[in-house]
């Protein structure tokens, strides 16, 4: 039998390591998907209706107090042209029925998610329950327009009294 050169032996060991790593990754992936699928089966669905959901996508996070408690599963347009979202919440999380759901972002240009503000009721939302209080997504362009219009209004207010004083001094 011919002996392998050092180069061939090194290539063989590297190839063997790559095959082993790919096999391990496959096993971990399969195991994790099984665990996640079991967890998804125990989550329960809740609904919320919004006028606009700009930037919120299926799979976006649902959070309460900054902790991930679920994800957006589906979105449909209702007969009044409003977006009705279905999201799954972990089974061990109980949400008061007077809670609110708002679409917020992680930063100025960050991704959107649903933030749930718990209410004070002792009654909890049942599986399939709907949030009565919602707050739509804020669109960055609208926010900038509001800030600019507020600035313009403040300038007009500040310049108006000065204008009147100037007019009165000229009359005297």
Tens of pLDDT, residues 74-95: 999 989 999 999 999 998 899 9
CB 52 within 8 A of CB 136: yes
| Domain match, 37 and 113 both | no
What's the pLDDT at 170?
A: 54
Q: Is residue 128 part of a domain?
A: yes
Q: How far apart are CA 152 and CA 46, in angstroms?
A: 42
| Domain match, 79 and 137 both | yes
| Domain match, 96 and 17 both | no
What's the pLDDT at 172?
A: 52
CB 134 within 8 A of CB 102: yes
What's the pLDDT at 111?
A: 83
Q: Is residue 124 part of a domain?
A: yes
Q: Domain tally for the chain? A: 2
| Domain match, 65 and 97 both | yes
- In the predicted model, is pLDDT for residue 120 greater than 60? yes
DSSP 125: P
- CA distances 126 to 2, 61, 129, Å, are 73, 20, 5
pLDDT band at 168; cut points 50, 70, 90? low
103 DSSP β-pair partners:
114
| Domain match, 70 and 96 both | yes
What's the pLDDT at 35?
A: 56
CB 136 within 8 A of CB 103: yes
Q: For residue 16, what are the domain limits?
A: 1-42
What integer best gives the mean pLDDT of the chain? 83
Task: Report pLDDT digits (tens) over 45-62.
Answer: 999 999 988 888 888 899
| Domain match, 30 and 47 both | no
| Domain match, 38 and 72 both | no
Q: Is residue 161 part of a domain?
A: no
| Domain match, 5 and 83 both | no
pLDDT band at 151; cut points 50, 70, 90? confident
Query: What string of DSSP letters covers 28-96?
Result: HHHHHHHHHHHHHHH-EEEEEEES--TT--TT-EEEETTEEEEEEEEEEE-TTS-EEEEEEE-TT---B
């Amino acid at each position: 039998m011919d002996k392998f050169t050092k180069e061939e032996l090194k290539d063989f060991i590297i190839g063997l390591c790559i095959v082993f790593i790919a096999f391990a990754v496959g096993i971990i992936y399969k195991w994790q998907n099984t665990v996640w699928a079991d967890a998804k089966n125990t989550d329960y669905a809740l609904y919320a209706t919004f006028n606009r959901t700009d930037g919120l996508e299926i799979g976006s996070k649902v959070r309460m107090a900054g902790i991930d408690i679920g994800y957006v599963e589906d979105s449909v347009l209702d007969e009044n042209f409003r977006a009705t979202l279905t999201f799954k919440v972990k089974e061990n999380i109980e949400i008061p029925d007077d809670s609110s759901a708002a679409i917020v972002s992680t930063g100025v240009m960050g991704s959107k998610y649903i933030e749930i503000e718990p209410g004070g009721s002792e009654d909890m939302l049942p599986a399939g329950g709907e949030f009565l209080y919602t707050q739509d997504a804020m669109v960055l362009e609208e926010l900038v327009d509001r800030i600019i219009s507020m600035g313009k209004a403040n300038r007009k207010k500040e310049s108006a009294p000065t204008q009147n004083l100037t007019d009165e001094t000229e009359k005297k």
